Every structure is written in structure tokens, then in C-alpha cells.
Amino acid sequence: MSAPLVLGIESSCDETGVALVRGDELLVDAVASSVDEHARFGGIIPEVASRAHLEAMIPTLERALGEADVDLSEIDAVAVTAGPGLVGPLTVGASAAKALAVALRKPLHGVNHVVGHAAVDQLVHGPFPERLLALVVSGGHSSLLLVDDIATDVTELGSTLDDAAGEAFDKVGRLLGLPYPGGPHVDRLAREGDPGAIRFPRGLTAAKDQAAHKDDFSFSGLKTAVARWIEARRDAGEPVPVADVAASFAAAVADVLTAKTIAACERHGIDTLVVGGGFSANSQLRELAAQRCAEAGITLRIPPIRYCTDNGAMIAALGSAVVAAGVQPSRLDIPVDSSMP
Ligand code: KG4
Ligand code: ZN
């Protein structure tokens, strides 16, 4: 008998994602994005994103079913992002998922978006080993997860106390006069600069932070340090070496993320690391993670970038794991939870 066919719906931020997964096999992953609508505001406007999800949800669902040549009646379970994310956008996805579950008389599973960013890697690199660590980094989250069972046993070891890594990049992009979202532009600029030109602070790496915050991150102090450095240059009437600033900033972020993650792997005796989330496109992080994981004997798994940004495949992948583990379905009145741990 073939594995259950799971429909996954994602709508926590500005991507409307609908995907179908059977077991560990991805049948289709349809995504519509409203990022262009947000670019002119320099950030995501929840109301605009909610309306965009409402408009895109059914066409994206129809596109997914059409591309996979699947009829709605063949679906065995519906999985949806229940949080964390923006309340309005989450509500649009949850409402669609509930409607489908009711109409099809199939179980509904509300799942965690951040865990989904790790789960999607199973579709690409195969089943997870018994234990692993996942670093999920994006514009909205920077979390370190201890994964004993992706469906039933995931512990958040730490997360950012302030800005997410991508958010810090976007803010530094703005300081450097780059378009929104600034992350990819800062990455590109950083490749032309000297990462050792300026020694920016490494948040929460001092010995005094090790007890309370050894697995947490903080990037807002770094962003402020970059702002002050640029301001001092401008006040002195000196030109700002933008590529060196970008490179030194990017080096600080990659250094902190990789050093803390590998220290956590070593502390927990873990030899597999999954990196997910839209920020895993960052070339400084990829390079340093590859280098440091190789030195530490850790297997590094990073899905292709289209599965790192928000999508339905990550939710269908987690939904499939949850169904396979025999987890009780969610009640049809489950709320969405913007700050779901
Ligand atoms: O996962 P994602 O698409 O959306 C969120 O859930 O946030 O992540 C997008 C974030 C944005 O902050 C974007 O600027 C950042 O990741 N980002 C990058 C790069 N590509 C995307 N930041 C630095 N370097 C990149 N190459
Ligand atoms: Zn995300």
C-alpha cells in the first residue's frame, strides 16, 4: 500500500504555498509570492499579505493539483502552518485547510513552520538520522533545534533574542542604501569586500553569555555597531567603504551562527546538521558552515534554495511525517499562533 497523500498549505508570511507529498516523495510544490507588492513599502504589510493570500490560495491549489494530475478526492490528509507567523496571513491558510478537511472528511494537522524548514530536507536528502541539529535562519527566525523525531520530538535549544539573521541583513542593506529585501544585495556586495577590514561585535559569544544564552543569538547590537561605524565615517567626511562594511558584517553573522551551532552539535554529540530557511542562501554562511562542519566531522545538509524559502513542500513534508508517526489530528477549531514556540 502506498503512503498517504498529504496536502500542505503554507501562508505564514508573504508566500502562498501548496504542495503534495506522498511519504518522502514531493509530487508538486506550487508557490505564489507577494514580495513585489511589499518592496515599495520596504517591509511586509500584514494586511497586504493577507489579501494576497486570499487571492492566490485557490489558484495556487488548482495549479498544484493540475501539475500533479491529482484529484482533491485522492488526498488523505491536510497539513497547514499553524504558526509562528503573521496572524492574518496564517488565518487565510488555516481557513482554506479547515474548509478542505471538512469538505473532504480528512484529518487536519496544524504544524509548526520553523520545524517545517528542517523537515523539507527529508524530501531532498532522504530520511533523517536518529538525532540531528537544525539551524533555521530567515527574515523572521533564527532558531537552533534539537531534532530527535521530526514529527514528535523537537526541542528549541535557542533562538534570536532580537533580530533574525535575514532581518539584520535587510536593515544593514537599508543603511547601505540597497533595495529591499537587502539580504541578497549585502551578500553580493560582501563578496567584493575584505571580511577582516572591520572587527564588528559577535553577539552572545562572550564567556559571560555562555550560561544563560549559549544557544541563543543576538544581531541587533551588531546592526547598531554597523550604523554607528557608518555614521562616524560620514561625520568625519570620509567615504564609506561599503563592500568592506558588508563583508565585515556578513563575516560576523556567519561566524556567530556557525560557531554556536557547531558548539551545540559537539555538546550534544550530534554529527548531522540541517540548515534551512531563506537566509541559508547566504554565501558567507554556506562557505563557513561547509568549512567548519568538515573540520568538526559533521555532515551538513542544506536543501536547494527553492526549498529553503517559504513553500508548501516544507509543510507537506512535516505533515507527511506527522501522519506516518500516527499523531492525533488537530481539532477543526485550532487557532493560529503567531508566536508558536
Ligand atoms: O525564508 P525567507 O524567504 O522568508 C522569511 O520567512 O523571512 O527569508 C528571507 C530572508 C530575507 O530577510 C532576505 O533578505 C534574507 O532571507 N536573504 C538573504 C539572502 N537571501 C535571502 N540574506 C543574506 N544573504 C542572502 N543571500
Ligand atoms: Zn520561513
Task: Please report which helix (H) or strand (E) contains residue 120, including its range.
Answer: none
Task: Tell me if 183 CB under 6 Å of ligand 1.
Answer: yes
Q: Model confidence at 41, in pLDDT bands (50, 70, 90)?
A: confident
Question: Is there a contact between 250 and 222 (Cβ–Cβ < 8 Å)?
Answer: no
All residues at 6 or more sequence positions from 329 whose CB lies less than 8 Å from its CB, including other chains: 77, 107, 108, 109
| Structure ipTM | 0.97
- 161, 205 in Cβ contact below 8 A? no
Known binding residue 282? Answer is: yes
| pLDDT given for residue 222 in this prediction | 97
Cβ atoms of residues 315 and 8 within 8 Å: yes
Task: For residue 254, give the ligand nearest its CA.
Answer: 1
pLDDT tens column, 10-24: 999 999 999 999 999
Confidence check: pLDDT of 206 > 90: no
Report the chain's mean pLDDT, rounded to a whole number: 96
pTM higher than 0.80: yes
Give 119's contacts (C-beta < 8 A, 6+ positions apart).
150, 314, 317, 318, 321
Model pLDDT, residue 275: 98
- Hey, whose CA ends up nearest to atom 8 of ligand 1? 278
pLDDT at 36: 78
Q: How far is the CA of 264 from the centre of ligand 1 (A)?
A: 23
Split at pLDDT 50, 70, 90, the class of 34 is confident
Cβ atoms within 10 Å of 296's Cβ, excluding its own? 15
Give the model confidence (pLDDT) of 224-273 as tens digits: 999 999 999 999 999 999 999 999 999 999 999 999 999 999 999 999 99
pLDDT in tens, 91-145: 999 999 999 999 999 999 999 999 999 999 999 999 999 999 999 999 888 999 9
- Looking from the CA of residue 12, the nearest atom of ligand 1 is 6
Specify the pairing of strand 108-112 against strand 77-83. parallel
The set of cell numbers assigned to 290 is: 561547509
The number of angstroms, rounded, from the C-alpha of 16 to the middle of its chain's C-alpha atoms is 14
Say if residue 1's pLDDT is above 80.
no
Rounded Cα distance, 42 and 49, in Å: 13
Strand bridging mode 108-112 / 142-149? unpaired
pLDDT by residue (tens digit) across 130-155? 999 999 999 888 999 999 999 999 99
Annotated ligand binding at 183? The verdict is yes
Whether 135 and 120 have beta carbons less than 8 Å apart is answered as no
Could you give all domains of the chain from N- to C-terminal order, each with its CATH number? 5-120+311-324 (3.30.420.40), 130-303 (3.30.420.40)
Pocket test for ligand 1, best of 160, 169, 283 (most atoms within 8 A of CB): 169
